[in-house]
Structure 1
Amino acid sequence: MGGPDQDVSETHFVLSKKTDPSDRKYPNFSDAEEIGNFSIGPEREYIDGTANLKYLWKREPEGDPGWNLNLGYNEAIRRDRSVHEKMDNLLHWIVRNKHKFPQNPAAKPSSEVPSAEPPRQVLACISCGRSRPPQR
C-alpha cells in the first residue's frame, strides 16, 4: 500500500438505475394525426407541401369497385431502384419543420408536438403494421 508520504484516496462508484426505454408509454396508432406533409416530384425531388399529394376516395360498396390495377401502369413514373433514398426526404422535412419539435428536451411533449426519438419497438410496429408493440 502507500507509505506515509503518499496520498491515498478512496474510489467511489455510483450506480444509478436508469429507466429502460422499453418501459415508456407507447403511442396509440389507432387514430392517425397529420403533423405535416411533403411530396416527391417526378424527378424524385423533395417538394415541401401537398403539391403531388393524392387521396383515395372510397366509393360506396355496390358490387365490383371497378378498380383496374393495370390502368395507367405503362404511364407510371418509375423510381430508379439503384438510388437508395433511405430516410433523406423525411429528414429533410424534419429540418424544415423544426418549429414542430420541442426546443427544451425537459419539456413534456404535447399531442401536437411529435417525438423524434421513438423507441425501437415503436419503429417495428410502424414498419410491420402492428398496432401494439410485442409484450416481453
Structure 2
Amino acid sequence: MTLPFLQILTPYITLLLTVGIWVVGWLMKKLIADNDRHFLDVKTELKAKIDECGGELEKRIDKLERDLELLERSRLADHKYLYEQFVHKDGFHRTVGRTESAIGRIFKQLNELNRVVNRNIGAAESHHD
C-alpha cells in the first residue's frame, strides 16, 4: 500500500469506525432503555402484588402476635406450676414477703426524698423570685 492510497482510504476508515461506534452506542442505549422499561414494569407488578397481599400479611402478622402472646401465657403458667411443684411454699412466701416489704421501704424512702427535693427546690425558687 502506498502513501497516497492510505491518504485516500483513511477518511473512509474513520467514517466506518465512527458509524460503527455510533451504532454500538445506539444499540446500548436502546438495550438500556428496554431494561429500564422492563424493570419499571416489574416494579409496578411487584407493588401491585404487595398492595394485594398487604392486608393478608397484616392479618398473618396479627395472628402470629396473638399466638406468641398465648404461648407466653402458657409458658408462664408452666413455669409457675413447675416452680410450685419443686419449691417449698412457706419458704417462698417468706422470701416474697421480705422482698415486698423491702420494695415498700424503698418506695417510702424515694417518696420522702422526692418531698425533700421538692421542698428544697421550692425554697430555692422563692429566693430567686
- Name the TM-score, length of structure 2 as normaliser: 0.19
Higher relative contact order (CA 8 A, sep 6+): 1
Q: Which has the larger radius of gyration?
A: 2
Query: TM-score normalized by structure 1?
Result: 0.18
Structure with greater proportional strand content: 1
Higher helix share: 2
